[in-house]
Structure 1
C-alpha cells in the first residue's frame, strides 16, 4: 500500500489582509503545499512556528509589533527545522540584507509570478536558496564592493569545469535548480551534483555565498 506524500507545511506572515488571503488561496490551490498558520505580524509568526513547526515560513519584512528581520532571527534561534523565505517589495533591499544575515535562506519579490513563488517554497523545502535576480544583483554588488567575504579563498574560476561554471552563472541569474535543469537539458539531480562540487571547489557553504564568489571572480560577466 502506498502512502500519500506529506505536503510541505507553510506559515504565512504579512500585515496586509488581502495579501494574506491571496497567498493562502494560491498555496491551497496546490496538492503539495499546505498552509498551517497565517500571521498578521512577526510576533504571531514566531508563535505559529513554535506551535506548528512548519517546513517553511514565508515572511514579509515590514510588519508591526515585531518586524520580519527580528521574527526571522527568532525562528532560526528556535531550531525547529523551519526555513524562512522572505517575500517582500524591491524597496526593502536594506531589510533583505538584514534578513539574510538573520538566517533567511532565500528571498523573492511580491511582484513575482505565482508559479515562481510556489517553486520557491518547494525549493526552500528541498534545501535550496531561491533568490530573485533583481534583488540578488543588489546583494552581489554590495558583496563585490565589500572585498573579502565568504568564498574569498584561493580557489579560482579556472578550477571549475565548463559545466560547473555554466551552472554557477545561472545561479547568479537567480534561477532555481529546476529552471537550470530545463535551461541546460539536464536533470535536477545533476544540477545538485554540480553545485555540491562547486561549493567544495570554491570553499563556500551555500547558494548565496557561491553567487557572491562568482561576482568577485567576474564569472557572471
Structure 2
C-alpha cells in the first residue's frame, strides 16, 4: 500500500511515480526534508497517478524514466498544470536527444538526489527554468553542434522580439529573467517562449535551444 507523508512547513503537493518500492520510499524520505513540500503521494503506476490527480491538485510529479514513456504521447493532456520532473540515471544516459524531447519541466539525477537538490529544482522550475544535471547539459550542447538536417532546411520565421527572447533562452535565462531583460511582464515573456517553442516544434526549452542552434538562429559559445 502506498503512503502519504504530510509536512507543515510547505505548501506544495508532490506525487512520486516510481514502480520500484525501495527507490520510491527513498525519494519520499528525501522529500520529507524539502521545506517547500507539504504533502507527498507515492504512486506505483500511471493509473494510480491519474486517479490521484482527479481528486486534487498535484503541483509536481517526479517520475522515473521507465514509468515516463506515456508522457511522450499524451502527457500534456494528462498532467494539466502539474510540473513534471524526470529522474535521470546519469550512468545510463544513451539517447540524450530522446531525453531532451520529453515534455517535462526539469531533470534531476538519481545519483545526486538530495533534499537541497530537490528544493533547488522545485524553485527553479517555478521560476520558469529547466534544471538538469551537468552531464546531460554537456551531452546536449555537444549534440547541438552536430548537423541536424531537419532543422537546418526548415525556415523558422521569428519576430524581432522572439529573436531577442530566444537568445536569452539559449543563455539559460528563466521567463522572469527574460521579462526583466526585455522590460515586459512575466506573462508576456511566457507567451514569447511558448511561441518560440511552437515555431521550433520543441516540447521544452532545452529542445528549443538545441533546434535554434542547429538552425543557425543564434550563436552559442
Q: When the two structures are superposed, what TM-score results if normalisation uses the length of structure 1? A: 0.64
Q: Distance in 2 between matches of 1:120 and 1:30?
A: 11
Is the 2:71–2:103 Cα contact (8 Å) retained in structure 1?
no
CA deviation vs aligned residue, 1:162-204 (integer Å, no higher than 9, x gap): xx96x65652xxxx85xxxxxxxxxx9546534887x959x73
- The structure-2 alpha-carbon separation of the partners of 1:58 and 1:70, relative to structure 1 and needing over 3 Å to count, comes to same
Higher RCO, 1 vs 2 (CA within 8 Å, ≥6 residues apart): 2
Is the 2:12–2:38 Cα contact (8 Å) retained in structure 1?
yes
Give the match for residue 45 of structure 1: 49
CA RMSD of aligned residues (A): 4.1
Is the 1:56–1:125 Cα contact (8 Å) retained in structure 2?
no
Q: How far apart are 1:98 and its partner, in Å?
A: 4.1
Q: Distance in 2 between matches of 1:214 and 1:200?
A: 15
Is the 2:86–2:107 Cα contact (8 Å) retained in structure 1?
yes
Secondary structure of 1:211's partner?
helix
- The structure-2 alpha-carbon separation of the partners of 1:73 and 1:8, relative to structure 1 and needing over 3 Å to count, comes to farther
Secondary structure of 2:107's partner?
strand
Give the match for residue 77 of structure 1: 77
- The structure-2 alpha-carbon separation of the partners of 1:122 and 1:80, relative to structure 1 and needing over 3 Å to count, comes to same
Give the match for residue 204 of structure 1: 196
- The structure-2 alpha-carbon separation of the partners of 1:100 and 1:76, relative to structure 1 and needing over 3 Å to count, comes to farther
Q: How far apart are 1:104 and its partner, in Å?
A: 1.6
Give the match for residue 121 of structure 2: 120
Residue correspondence of structure 1 range 133-144 to structure 2 within 5 A? 133-143=134-144, 144=146
- Gaps of at least 5 residues in structure 1 are 178-187
Give the match for residue 64 of structure 2: 60
Secondary structure of 1:117's partner?
helix
The yes-or-no answer on 1:22 pairing with 2:38 is: no
Secondary structure of 1:130's partner?
coil
Residue correspondence of structure 1 range 77-116 to structure 2 within 5 A? 77-78=77-78, 80-90=80-90, 91-94=92-95, 97-98=97-98, 100-114=100-114, 115-116=116-117
Q: Distance in 2 between matches of 1:73 and 1:51?
A: 23
Q: When the two structures are superposed, what TM-score results if normalisation uses the length of structure 2? A: 0.64
- The structure-2 alpha-carbon separation of the partners of 1:76 and 1:214, relative to structure 1 and needing over 3 Å to count, comes to closer
Q: How far apart are 1:54 and its partner, in Å?
A: 0.6
Aligned length: 195
- Gaps of at least 5 residues in structure 2 are 1-7, 183-187, 198-203
Q: Distance in 2 between matches of 1:49 and 1:130?
A: 24
Secondary structure of 1:104's partner?
coil
Secondary structure of 1:128's partner?
coil
